[in-house]
Amino acid sequence: MSSSGGVGVSPGNVAVYHGSNLMVVDRRVRVVEVVLRGVICGLGVVAAVLVGFDTQVKEIFSIQKKAKFTDMKALVFLVIANGIAAAYSLVQGLRCVVSMVRGSVLFKKPLAWAIFSCDQVMAYMMLAAVAAATQSALIAELGQQELQWMKICNMYGKFCSQVGEGIASAVVVSLSMVALSCISAFNLFRLYGGKRSGRC
């Protein structure tokens, strides 16, 4: 806090050094952020399409039965959650790219709070959707004999394996969302560290 800097190390130099250091970290964090948002957007659409357009028709004693994702409420939630996550990531990814091109750095607390909150909500929503869908899929695959809920995947094999692929994509989406929510927490809460500079 005093002006007892070494020879050639003026407060100006220190500020510039810190600034460029920060820029390097910022650029890396932002590249990771753009990549993750791209992954979420792409795989979110893949998961929604895989599950949403999955059907299988089976003939049982000359009665046609059709399996579709709306038969299982958890899959409807999964499709909706993936759609929302993909659309949200597209918007956020574009914002990221624009601010990278402009070279602007996120220092505004309200915007950082908004991004942090949305990312958190998305991460928890995606995780809840994946957990609920996995639970339903496990019952469909293994059955729950004690409750006389029969397994149905021996009848609708192709339908079930496609749902499995959709859930696998959704798992990657939700893990990416978790990583992103950590990044946006970093972007937000480091703004609160400045005041402490006199103490450490």
Q: What residues line the site for a copy of itself (CB under 8 A)?
A: 1-3, 11, 14-15, 18-19, 21-22, 71-74, 107, 120, 124, 127-132, 134-136, 138-140, 144, 146-150, 152, 178, 182, 185-186, 188-200
Q: How far is the CB of 92 from a copy of itself (least distance, A)?
A: 19
For the bound state, the minimum distance from the C-beta of residue 109 to a copy of itself, rounded and expressed in Å, comes to 11
Q: How far apart are CA 187 and CA 107, in angstroms?
A: 8
Query: Long-range contacts for 110-117 (Cβ within 8 Å, ≥24 apart)?
Result: 112/184, 112/187, 112/188, 112/191, 113/188, 115/184, 115/187, 115/188, 116/181, 116/184, 116/185, 116/187, 116/188
Contact assessment for residue 17 and residue 136, using Cβ atoms and an 8 Å cutoff: no
Q: Which is nearer to a copy of itself, 104 or 144 (CB)?
A: 144
**Cβ 196 to a copy of itself, closest distance in Å?**
6
Separation of alpha carbons 183 and 116, rounded Å: 9
Alpha helices in 53-200, H assignment, sequence order:
73-102, 109-142, 157-189
Please say which residue, 31 or 94, places its beta carbon nearer to a copy of itself.
Answer: 31
CB of 165 to a copy of itself, least distance (A): 20
Cβ atoms < 10 Å from Cβ of 7: 5
CA proximity to 173, closest of 83, 96, 53 = 83
- Considering the complex, state which of residue 90 and residue 128 has its C-beta at the smaller distance from a copy of itself: 128
Q: 94 or 149: whose CB is closer to a copy of itself? A: 149
Pick between residue 90 and residue 134 the one whose CB is nearest to a copy of itself.
134
Structure tokens of 160?
């079930």
Minimum CB separation of residue 187 from a copy of itself in Å reads: 8
